[in-house]
Structure 1
Amino acid sequence: MNVQQWSVPETPIPAAASVAPPTGRLWFLRRPLVLWGGFVLVHAVLIGLNLSGIGWPLGDVERVYLGWAEGTVSGAVRLGIDTDFVYPILALAPILASLAFGAPMYALTWLGLVTVLNGVAFGVLTGRRPGRAAAGAAWWWLGFLLLLGPVGLARIDSVTVPLVIMGLLWLRTRPFWGAVLLSVATWVKVWPVAAIIALVVASKRRWQVLAAFAGTSALIIVVALTQGSGLTILSFVTEQTDRGIQIEAPVAGWWLWQSALGIPGTLVYYDQQILTYQVIGTGTELAIAVMTPLLVLCVAAVLALGWRAQRRGASVDRLFPPLLLALVLTLIVVNKVGSPQFMTWLAAPLILGLVSSPRSWWRPALVALVMAALTQVVYPYFYDGLLATTPAMVLILTARNLLEVVLLVWMAVRLWRLGSPGAGPGVLTQAAPAAGLHRSILKE
């Protein structure tokens, strides 16, 4: 790989200090004071929306996470050790940390913790003197969070997003720690493993990625085993596969529309064990059995497209961002589980794309903004309408889910073209190499 291939016009990494003075009509939007003012304003709005109680967006935090934290502290339960846990075991870290100031302050502490993590990732993205690409990605992220609404801060997924953003950005300058951070995020919520898998396919230094992931995972597992976890440490795998059809999953649309149109035989119910709303009707048992194998096949198909492109000379800078986004979208689209917070997953790959090549990524980024806005309309404000399968809410959810499919197909087409004759290795941008690129796992 050319030493310029994973650099960007204006690298957001602080180590690359030489950035030309801001110019242009909107130059002031690149000023750190303005960027951080936007960050504070957006997070203040989101915290206010969460604390307002409208639609109870903090339901999982106040009802589920707090219960887990208190049960763990009291010794009544050891999730992931003595008791099956729906999440990987490191999810307990932010859940327990939010109890630092007591149960009455739990929700506010959680929101503060996520805001701090977002702030650290925002700082890594923008650096001391952000360039145009980094500033644009930062403003897009703030807009995405604002359009997505309170759920952007109020779920365990909100902890993983800034970790993944930092991990992806560090792959260029701190490759080892970038891979480790992605591995840690995977042990909080599974979806960041998509970044590990995409790197294994896109980068020729895949063994370094696998070594970082294996070493981090081994350390976590060994610590859990010393506490007596046994195979319970992997219970999050079976907890997910045993789920039914969640109402926000794209596959649930078939039954939601039957209910919305008054066709009998479909029921939306609350699963007391998984703590989610699911749908049941004619054919749902078959769908439950089919969706997990189908997900595996679709992930394999996306990886095959990525491998084809890599083998035909596609450079890692062109291949990695669309492959990562395609994998993340596959985990959302071809899944029997669906939740509003899944939209937060899109932030990391799209920020990576916007930093790497703004011109080729602004259109997918705009589609994601629309998806975020539609998600907030459904949850938390009119979620009762969705539970009642009112046609308007089912239509909005269907539109959001169709956009997920559109974006997935878009990325699949990009991957196919990257592996087509004549695509060539190519270089997205031409710029001075980012600091530390010579030792990056993305260097080929």
Structure 2
Amino acid sequence: MLWLLAHDQYALLGRGGVAREVWKLYFHWYGTLRHGSFPAGDHLWQYPPGAGAVLLSPALLPGLTYFQAFVTLTLLTDAAITLVLARVGTRPGRSLRGAALWTAGLPLLLHIPLARYDVQVTAFAVISLLTMSRSRHMSGVFAALGALVKVWPALALIGTPRGRSTREAWTAAAVTAVTLLSLLAALFRHPFDFLRQQGGRGVQIESLGGTVLMFARRAGWPGHTHYQYGAVEFVGPHVHTVALCSLVLTAVAFALLLLWRMRNRRWTPATPYDAALAAVLLFTVTSRVISPQYMIWLIGLAAVCLTSRHTTQRPVALLVLAATAVSVVEYPAYYGDVINSTWAGCLLMLVRNTLLTSAAVVSFIRLWRSGRPLVERTKAGTPPRNPHEIPAVFRTDG
């Protein structure tokens, strides 16, 4: 991955476009943040205030350039995630498959993870989930820290068992979020300007809605692509309708997750992990934006699921890996085809987004079924998925 980052001028690696995000855009924001202000009126700044701390972190390594320091810290974070997954995987009833998935899955994205701060965000979610069984308070703190950087890690708490566990984790998260937001608001100017920029986003070409518009373009739709809000988006008739449909689907996904929480009657050690992966998948596929770096989140959460022998998400992890492999074919290698909606670009996005949608559907269905009591599933003709779900008195494996 480091070698690819050092040679990213090749056409198939994006001609330097991947690394440019750090040494140009992040460094520009770094200069603004150092002067005590978040980027105000910058339509590219669409991140919660906690992102500022991550972008300022390269200052901790003064002997390096900003780019070198950013990549070094990303590598250290990657190592920390691997270490945590491996340490948890050696405990009784756990598995090293999670550490193996993270180690083998991340390089499928080539050098993209080293030139984005999504590895750091994923670390907060991974640690939040893996500390949940020992300290609900710390789990809530890490989920809040991640949410302040990029919102989605808050979904790590959606699978906390009802009752005291939920109250402890969510209260710790709320107190942490309010405290740090107040601190950032006191230290920096314009901490909430990102809300205005985020609300103006349209339909990115790599989203599910973008795939629909790509095929519509091939059929004669008069719209076109335009770079805005930090991504290539579609502009033209009916784009607003497609964006609205995405928001409606996101609301439906949220309703389904709430319904699952209310109806779920069985929590296993893996339920919080499985629920987090299902939730992030649902919100990803219904989003107006699905950038390749989003796959880092899914690989990290799938890795957490695989640390538990009780997980129901093994097939989902394979679908995530397949979608990841396709993602780096469309970006950066064939991004021009995706932008111009050629048949190659259309088919690549269709395959990637079909894999992601399939992963989301399978993930939620398996999560839903795992919440039914064993007796109820047996009566319905659904056998247990692994021997750990079988009461000891019925086991034949000794």
Tell me if both proteins adopt one fold, taking TM over 0.5 as the criterion: yes
CA distance in 1, matches of 2:262, 2:385: 18
Cα 1:227–1:285 change in 2 (3 A) is same
C-alpha displacement of 1:159? 1.1
Report the RMSD for the aligned CA atoms in angstroms: 2.8
Kindly indicate whether the alpha-carbon contact (under 8 Å) linking 2:82 and 2:103 is maintained by their aligned counterparts in 1: no
Cα 1:183–1:162 change in 2 (3 A) is same
Q: Is 2:296 the partner of 1:296? A: no
Relative contact order (alpha carbons < 8 A, sep ≥ 6): 1 or 2 greater?
A: 1
CA distance in 2, matches of 1:101, 1:353: 34
The residue identity in structure 2 corresponding to 1:197 is I
State which of 168, 187, 191 in structure 2 corresponds to 1:227: 187
Match of 1:182 in 2: 143
State which of 52, 63, 67 in structure 1 corresponds to 2:24: 63
Match of 2:124 in 1: 163
Kindly indicate whether the alpha-carbon contact (under 8 Å) linking 2:274 and 2:312 is maintained by their aligned counterparts in 1: no
Match of 2:283 in 1: 331
Cα 1:82–1:244 change in 2 (3 A) is closer
C-alpha displacement of 1:297? 2.8
C-alpha displacement of 1:370? 0.7
Cα 1:83–1:275 change in 2 (3 A) is closer
Match of 1:263 in 2: 220
Match of 1:34 in 2: none
1:356-388 alpha-carbon deviations (Å, 9 max, x no partner): 127743322111111110011111222122122
Match of 2:78 in 1: 118
CA distance in 1, matches of 2:56, 2:358: 38
Match of 1:320 in 2: 272
Report the 3-state secondary structure (helix = DSSP H, G, I; strand = E; otherwise coil) of the residue aligned with 1:335. coil
Match of 1:375 in 2: 327
Q: How does 1:207-246 map to 2 (within 5 A)?
A: 207-227=167-187, 229=189, 232-246=190-204
State which of 230, 233, 241 in structure 2 corresponds to 1:278: 233
CA distance in 2, matches of 1:197, 1:241: 24
1:23-51 alpha-carbon deviations (Å, 9 max, x no partner): xxxxxxxxxxxxxxxxxxxxxxx122122
CA distance in 2, matches of 1:225, 1:263: 48
1:387-408 alpha-carbon deviations (Å, 9 max, x no partner): 2222112211211111111111
Report the 3-state secondary structure (helix = DSSP H, G, I; strand = E; otherwise coil) of the residue aligned with 1:278. strand
State which of 85, 97, 101 in structure 1 corresponds to 2:57: 97
Q: Is 2:90 the partner of 1:127? A: no
Report the 3-state secondary structure (helix = DSSP H, G, I; strand = E; otherwise coil) of the residue aligned with 1:320. helix
Kindly indicate whether the alpha-carbon contact (under 8 Å) linking 2:152 and 2:280 is maintained by their aligned counterparts in 1: yes
Instruction: Give unmatched runs, 5+ long, in structure 1.
Output: 1-45, 432-444
Q: How does 1:352-391 map to 2 (within 5 A)?
A: 352-357=304-309, 360-391=312-343
Cα 1:335–1:170 change in 2 (3 A) is same
Report the 3-state secondary structure (helix = DSSP H, G, I; strand = E; otherwise coil) of the residue aligned with 1:305. helix
1:212-241 alpha-carbon deviations (Å, 9 max, x no partner): 111101111221232365xx4344344323
Match of 2:393 in 1: none
Q: TM-score scaled to structure 1, two decimals? A: 0.77
Q: Is 2:206 the partner of 1:254? A: no
Instruction: Give unmatched runs, 5+ long, in structure 2.
Output: 379-383, 390-398
Report the 3-state secondary structure (helix = DSSP H, G, I; strand = E; otherwise coil) of the residue aligned with 1:340. coil
Cα 1:283–1:210 change in 2 (3 A) is same
Kindly indicate whether the alpha-carbon contact (under 8 Å) linking 1:318 and 1:427 is maintained by their aligned counterparts in 2: no
CA distance in 2, matches of 1:255, 1:374: 20
CA distance in 2, matches of 1:133, 1:152: 27
Kindly indicate whether the alpha-carbon contact (under 8 Å) linking 2:143 and 2:157 is maintained by their aligned counterparts in 1: yes
CA distance in 2, matches of 1:411, 1:218: 32
C-alpha displacement of 1:197? 3.0
Q: How does 1:188-203 map to 2 (within 5 A)?
A: 188-199=149-160
Kindly indicate whether the alpha-carbon contact (under 8 Å) linking 1:69 and 1:99 is maintained by their aligned counterparts in 2: no
CA distance in 1, matches of 2:250, 2:292: 19
Match of 1:410 in 2: 362
Cα 1:203–1:371 change in 2 (3 A) is farther
Identity %: 22
The residue identity in structure 2 corresponding to 1:205 is S
1:147-186 alpha-carbon deviations (Å, 9 max, x no partner): 1222222212121112221221111234322221121011
Cα 1:298–1:209 change in 2 (3 A) is same
Match of 2:111 in 1: 150
Report the 3-state secondary structure (helix = DSSP H, G, I; strand = E; otherwise coil) of the residue aligned with 2:269. helix
C-alpha displacement of 1:327? 0.9
1:120-151 alpha-carbon deviations (Å, 9 max, x no partner): 12112212983695422111111111112222
CA distance in 2, matches of 1:264, 1:129: 51
Match of 2:37 in 1: 78
CA distance in 2, matches of 1:368, 1:262: 30
The residue identity in structure 2 corresponding to 1:341 is Q
Match of 2:381 in 1: none
C-alpha displacement of 1:72? 2.4
Match of 2:395 in 1: none
1:244-289 alpha-carbon deviations (Å, 9 max, x no partner): 1111111111111233x26240201111xx1211012321022223
The residue identity in structure 1 corresponding to 2:253 is C
Cα 1:228–1:345 change in 2 (3 A) is closer
